[in-house]
Amino acid sequence: MKVTKICCIGAGYVGGPTMSVIAQKCPDIKVTVVDINQTRIDAWNDPDLSNLPVYEPGLDKVVAEARGRNLFFSTDVIKAIEESEMIFISVNTPTKTYGEGKGMAADLKWVELCARQIATASKEDKIVVEKSTLPVRTAQAVKDILVNTGNGLKFQILSNPEFLAEGTAIEDLESPDRVLIGGDDTPEGKIAIQALVDIYARWVPKDRILTTNVWSSELSKLTANAFLAQRVSSINALSELCEVTGADVSEVAKAIGTDSRIGSKFLKASVGFGGSCFQKDILNMVYICRSYQLNEVADYWEQVIKMNDHQKARFAKKIIKSLYNTVSGKKITFLGWAFKKDTNDTRESAAIYVADHLLSEQAKICVYDPKVNQEKVYADLEYLNTRSSDENRRHVKVMNDPYEACKDSHAIAILTEWDEFKTYDWEKIYQNMLKPATLFDGRNILSKEEMTKIGFRFYAIGKP
Ligand code: UDX
Ligand code: ADP
């Protein structure tokens, strides 16, 4: 089966970049990305590529090449479904904030809505591809809806989890470690799997395209994220031990990382992991385990989240303790708000929780992030519901200039590892701060030696 038109429902951090790369690599396939959010679609269509709604290095070039040729962004969901042979579902699946499974299970209302839209709009058989991270056996639910509401048409459901990491999305999409495609082991299922394999095979070596059953594919995505998050929590747990014993966590990470069985990646101690996936996917896994009464398994994975929460709180407490046990009325500057560098995404960013902790102690926070704007910062704080919107706006200021942001502050905290922070004129920043000036490096990007030479009191994660 040769696919000539595909559409993707959801123009977010996953759908947008993934479809842009597919369109770039397959100029003969028409790719339409649809979203109910008109503002988002307008931004994807903005002639000025610096206004794309997702910031990813290299994304602007890919969009420039394919947009208008075979890549289209639209709000006409029904038309796109109708004309496409293959439909990707890439909508948000956040943790539920209400009812059964609140705070744990994935909220599947957007996925279900998508399935219903596909069922209503389809006039021919379709291949439906799950791209969003979903709990195991969601494909069955999607299939049920399609079969029971879909005008008697045939639908093949594939699971094709996305492994791209934000900030390196284009690289990850262009040369992925693997592409995983799960589908039914029936003749129709195999044809559908092959149709998707053929798309990826245009640029991904065949031995990197793995095919499995649907459930293995769904669970592999949750497992990959759980393992990665676990590594970060493991090294972060060790960072606290390093601080009291006099060991240096970077040295420990390097020493263990040279063991080829352990590997050197994902061993950077930090103020805590963030992002839309790690916490959500682990909570999801914990919820599934508990629903099968696998309580020990659930407890084991839940500890990864607890350790991460502890790391964020520990950083905030360190700031308070170092500033003579009070931050009330003190200006503390945050360098970085995004959950990692090279993205404007702030979902679950450690910065939000550290700020919340310090605001509860009446600190005045000033934020500078190269890619995150003021409204996003306020929206993130408002989402926590700890204090009124008015209070957040009074106690938190967002600046566009890092030097202005640092001026007259008691302390600076680095929350995101943006490269530009390394090249600032730290001497000048120090001169303009209140003394003693303290620098809390939550990402271990600055040299303790250089900073203390300038005069800073310096704290880094997991360093003696
Ligand atoms: C993750 C997975 O890597 C990706 O495969 C999946 O598709 C989506 O979830 P992402 O959340 O974009 O990607 O970023 P990632 O690079 O995994 O970082 C997640 C968080 O962990 C960030 O806050 C990052 O700063 C933190 N981290 C990562 C560390 O603190 N230390 C590390 O060594 C690595
Ligand atoms: P991700 O990081 O998984 O890509 P995002 O939240 O960035 O998640 O993007 C998901 C997108 O899906 C949002 O832009 C949202 O408006 C869109 N969306 C959710 N439900 C639907 C729907 N039924 N039809 C079209 N778009 C949808």
**Residue 298 and residue 328 share a domain:** no
Claim to verify: residue 270 and residue 208 sit in the same structural domain: no
Helix (H, G, I), strand (E, B) or coil at 41: helix
Report whether 324 contacts 290 (CB < 8 A).
Answer: no
Task: Give the active site residue among 7, 26, 242, 277.
Answer: 277
**Distance from C-alpha of 226 to C-alpha of 155, rounded to nearest angstrom:** 31
Provide the domain limits for residue 243.
233-305
Number of domains in the chain: 3
- Shared domain check, 264 and 162: no
**Has residue 368 been placed in a domain?**
yes
Enumerate residue ranges in the chain where pLDDT < 70: none
Closest residue CA from atom 10 of ligand 1: 165
User: What pLDDT is attached to residue 464?
Assistant: 86
Q: What pLDDT sits at residue 152?
A: 86
Residues 191 and 52 in one domain: yes
Residues facing residue 365 across a β-bridge: 332, 396
Report how far residue 450's alpha carbon sits from residue 269's, in angstroms, rounded to the nearest whole number: 20
**Which of residues 305, 336, 355 is at a domain's end?**
305
| Separation of CA 273 and ligand 1 centre (Å) | 7
> Domain containing 107 — which CATH number?
3.40.50.720
The predicted model scores a pTM of: 0.95
Using CB distances shorter than 6 Å, the residues near ligand 2 are 9-15, 34-37, 40, 77, 90-92, 110, 113-114, 117, 132, 276
Mutate to test the pocket of ligand 2, among 39, 59, 110 (most ligand atoms within 8 A of CB): 110
In this structure, the answer to whether residues 139 and 243 fall within a common structural domain is: no
Q: Whose CA is nearest to atom 15 of ligand 1?
A: 165
228 within a domain of the structure (yes/no): no
Same domain as 315, residue 295: no
Instruction: Report yes or no on 336 lying in a domain.
Output: yes
Ligand 1 atom closest to residue 443's alpha carbon, by position in its atom list: 30
Within a domain: 222: no
The answer to whether residues 64 and 200 belong to one domain is yes
Query: Could you identify the atom of ligand 1 that is nearest to the CA of residue 272?
Result: 30
What is the per-residue pLDDT across 334-383, written as a single tens digit (0 to 9) for each?
999 999 999 999 999 999 999 999 999 999 999 999 999 999 999 999 99
Known catalytic residue at 114: no
Same domain, yes or no: 79 and 120: yes
Q: Is residue 441 part of a domain?
A: yes
pLDDT value for 150: 72
* Residue 411 and residue 279 in one domain: no
Residue owning the nearest CA to atom 13 of ligand 1: 165
pLDDT value of residue 140:
84
- Asked if residue 435 belongs to a domain, the reply is yes
Asked whether the beta carbons of 188 and 220 are under 8 A apart, the reply is no
Please check whether residue 208 lies inside any domain of the structure.
Answer: yes
Assess whether 250 and 383 both reside in one domain: no
Which residues are known binding-site members for NAD(+)?
10-15, 35, 40, 91-95, 132-133, 166, 277-280, 347
Shared domain for 35 and 110, answered yes or no, is yes
- Last residue within a domain, chosen from 287, 305, 323: 305
Q: Do residues 291 and 330 both lie within one domain? A: no
Cα 406 to Cα 335: distance, rounded to the nearest angstrom: 9
Q: Is the CB of 26 under 6 A from ligand 1?
A: no
User: Which of 212, 247, 275 finishes a domain?
Assistant: 212
- Give nearest CA residue, ligand 2 atom 3: 92
Distances (CA, A) of 187 to 183, 184, 191, 193: 11, 8, 6, 10
Q: What is the pLDDT of residue 139?
A: 83
The binding site for substrate consists of 162-166, 221-225, 261, 268-274, 339-340, 443
Is the CB–ligand 1 distance for residue 221 below 6 Å?
no
On whether residue 220 sits in a domain, the answer given is: no
Of all protein residues, the one whose alpha carbon is nearest to atom 31 of ligand 1 is 268
**CATH code, 266:** 1.10.1040.10
Residue 339 Cα: closest atom of ligand 1: 23
How high is the pLDDT of residue 104?
A: 87
User: C-alpha distances in angstroms, 98 versus 107, 262, 363, 439, 455?
Assistant: 9, 39, 31, 39, 49
User: Which atom of ligand 1 is nearest the CA belonging to 229?
Assistant: 21
State the Cα–Cα distance between residues 375 and 355, nearest whole angstrom.
15
